[in-house]
Amino acid sequence: MLQSLSTLDLVVVVLLLLFLVTASMYSSFKKKSSEEYFMAGRSLKWYSVAGSIFGTNIHAQQIIGMMGIGYSIGFVQSHYEVWAVPAILVLVYLFIPIYRKRQFFTLSQFLENRYSSQTRLVYTVLMIAFIMIQLIGGFYIGSRTLGILFQGTSWELTYLQGILVIATVTILFTVFGGMESVVIADNILTVVMIISVLLMGTLTYRQPEIGGLSGLLALDHAEANKMHLYLPANHPKLPWLGIFTGLTILNFFYWTTNQYQVQRVLAAQTERDAKLGSIAAGFLKLIIPFFSIGAGTAAFYLFRSRFGENVIKPDDTFLTLLRTVVPMGYGFVGLILAGLMCAIFSAIYSMMNSVSTMLAYDVYRKYMKPNASDKSTVRFGQLGVFVMCVIATGLAYTTFDPTSSDNFFLILANQTSYLKPGLVVVFFWGVLWRKTNPKAAVIVLMSSPFIGFGCDWLYDHVLVNSAWVRETFGLTLNFLYRVFLIFVIGSVLIALLSVYFNRRTGQVKDHDMTVSVNGIGSALLRFFLLQLPPVCLVFMHVITPQQGAIPAALLTFALFWWYMKREKERIAFYQSDIFYAGLLTSDMIWIMYYFA
């Protein structure tokens, strides 16, 4: 790959990587307290929160994996970006006020305050296991990408060498820089990745076989129908019913209960910075469907025309497209490659920063040395990063096949789907129902994976024998359905166990971390009532989904405008977080109608 790069492309790659390293490592020379090291001194402005959230969220496996799914399955993958908006709103208006009230370092501390120290311990173990799975996946897709980038050059890397390079860079950044370095790197990455994705998508759409986004839509309508958001309920990968059930739960996990994502809002300077930063990250995420996933769908037609049917593997779509549509000699290839290489490292050391925080506060200061100094706390967190990277290196090398042609993004989502629903159950019931019992929370957290395995067994050996079940949900239980089943069963279990334990003890844990469900319920009711007319008109075929897109979006924005005026804030409307939340939600509604 790199042997055909121009001198300008090579210069761009080297300069951008040097700038990233220099800018993010500059803060490592400062002497830091534990709060400065792990939380950047709680000084992040809204734009830093947004850039860091996006930089952490849109990592290499996401860009490569999502473009690959756009290529192999279609635009339906956009739900992972578009349908994240409800979860962002829940984070902003439900969880941020609660999390920031006590100035927590970790979400484990929130669980201890809300429930018990046992709940905190279980969450810590589950999150470290989850991050380990993500880390192994990051090493795999990162090494595979580096191998393709340097293929045929004197710097060609084996799969193991690529893993070792990524692990080494991760250790250097995380150990010496701390969160401030991670945030700086995330913000640089965000700028580079947005430019790269916009450039790559635009050049793909401009190919004569595609003819722009309108040309892609016309081509797709006449042939494969990939540019749609909804697949049959029995689709083996991304069924529409699974999107509105299981994916909703997964998004709630990622945006509200995931330590390495929520840590950014915990480190914000003010609550307003935390809210605006989260909403701004939502706007940035809406770029991905059109310029990454949509570009992957366009690549399906482009590659078929130029190379033949099914010649390119899904996870190789990004780099093949780079070779195919981006002109050499202008620095564009170097810019995109630098962005991709930054993404390989950034998301990994963002996760490692959160792991070091959890190990330092939820293990070292909690169980090993409660009165530890800042210096020893930081050192323990740094040691934890090193150990995690060593373990992940060995597992990535032995458990993944670098020549695989499967959709890696969906494989990773499936692997982690056993852990996430139980966490969502415990967090949501904890803030919505004051009587949720600590013992019930621990039981649900620990039993969540086993509930998932039970659902798999029940479906594969009993339910699948029903013709209606096979026709409706497919031959195997899709992981999105499994996630929703775990959430529902876990919710029933936590309610029943809470009633049982509360009756036995005759008392309810005293805390101030729940909110009234009345306001949430009334807001949701108003939203659904406003959406009812356009939805009915579409289902009655009076109007097309495309014709209903703008009215539905305007009705959505009107609801947020009403809430903004009701708050009677003494600021201009364009300074209100509700105003921007309304714009974001309206954009989501338009996309979900127009690409139905």
Q: Both 199 and 220 in a single domain?
A: yes
Q: Both 492 and 350 in a single domain?
A: no
Residue 306 has pLDDT above 60, yes or no: yes
CA distances from 368 to 190, 352, 359, 360, 385 (A): 38, 21, 11, 10, 17
Last residue of a domain, one of 467, 489, 509: 509
Give the model's pLDDT for residue 24.
Answer: 66
Q: Both 299 and 429 in a single domain?
A: no
Last residue of a domain, one of 468, 485, 509: 509
Give the model's pLDDT for residue 31.
Answer: 54
* Whether this model's pTM surpasses 0.85: yes
Q: What is the pLDDT of residues 70-116, one digit of tens each?
A: 888 888 889 989 999 999 999 999 999 999 888 888 899 899 999 99
Q: Are 594 and 552 in contact (CB under 8 A)?
A: no
Report the range of poorest mean pLDDT among 235-244, 278-287, 342-351, 457-466.
342-351
Give the model's pLDDT for residue 177.
Answer: 67
Q: How far apart are CA 306 and CA 583, in angstroms?
A: 40
Please state the rounded mean pLDDT for residues 192-210. 89
Mean pLDDT for all residues in the chain: 85
CA distances from 248 to 22, 94, 299, 552, 590 (A): 39, 16, 28, 21, 18
Q: How far apart are CA 30 and CA 37, in angstroms?
A: 10
Residue 256's CATH number: 1.20.1730.10
Last residue of a domain, one of 416, 435, 462: 416
Residue 405 has pLDDT above 70, yes or no: no
Residue 276 has pLDDT above 90, yes or no: yes
Q: Both 238 and 262 in a single domain?
A: yes
**Residue that is written with structure tokens 């974001």 in the block:** 584
**pLDDT category of residue 1 using cuts at 50, 70 and 90:** very low
Top-ranked range on mean pLDDT: pick from 142-156, 362-376, 444-458: 444-458
Q: Both 233 and 283 in a single domain?
A: yes
Give the model's pLDDT for residue 225.
Answer: 78
Give the model's pLDDT for residue 350.
Answer: 76
Q: Both 184 and 44 in a single domain?
A: yes
Percent of the chain, pLDDT > 90? 37
Please state the rounded mean pLDDT for residues 204-225. 86
Residue 140 has pLDDT above 80, yes or no: yes
Q: Both 471 and 388 in a single domain?
A: no
Q: Both 381 and 450 in a single domain?
A: no
Please state the rounded mean pLDDT for residues 46-72. 82
Give the model's pLDDT for residue 403.
Answer: 67
- CA-wise closest residue to 269 among 55, 40, 459, 8: 40
Q: Both 179 and 289 in a single domain?
A: yes
Give the model's pLDDT for residue 26.
Answer: 67
Question: How many domains is the chain built from?
Answer: 3
Q: Both 478 and 544 in a single domain?
A: no
**pLDDT category of residue 28 using cuts at 50, 70 and 90:** low
Give the model's pLDDT for residue 260.
Answer: 81
Give the model's pLDDT for residue 180.
Answer: 75
Q: Both 482 and 540 in a single domain?
A: no
Q: Both 304 and 385 in a single domain?
A: yes
Give the model's pLDDT for residue 339.
Answer: 77
Give the model's pLDDT for residue 153.
Answer: 62
Q: How far apart are CA 126 and CA 116, in angstroms?
A: 16
Cα angle 196-415-149, degrees, rounded to a multiple of 5: 30
**pLDDT category of residue 591 using cuts at 50, 70 and 90:** very high
Q: Are 122 and 445 in contact (CB under 8 A)?
A: yes
Contacts of residue 152, Cβ cutoff 8 Å, sequence gap at least 6: 1, 2, 3
Can you give the residue range of the structural domain that contains 125?
2-416
307: three-class secondary structure by DSSP: coil
Residue 146 has pLDDT above 90, yes or no: no
Give the model's pLDDT for residue 512.
Answer: 73
Q: What is the pLDDT of residues 528-551, one digit of tens each?
A: 999 999 999 999 999 999 999 999
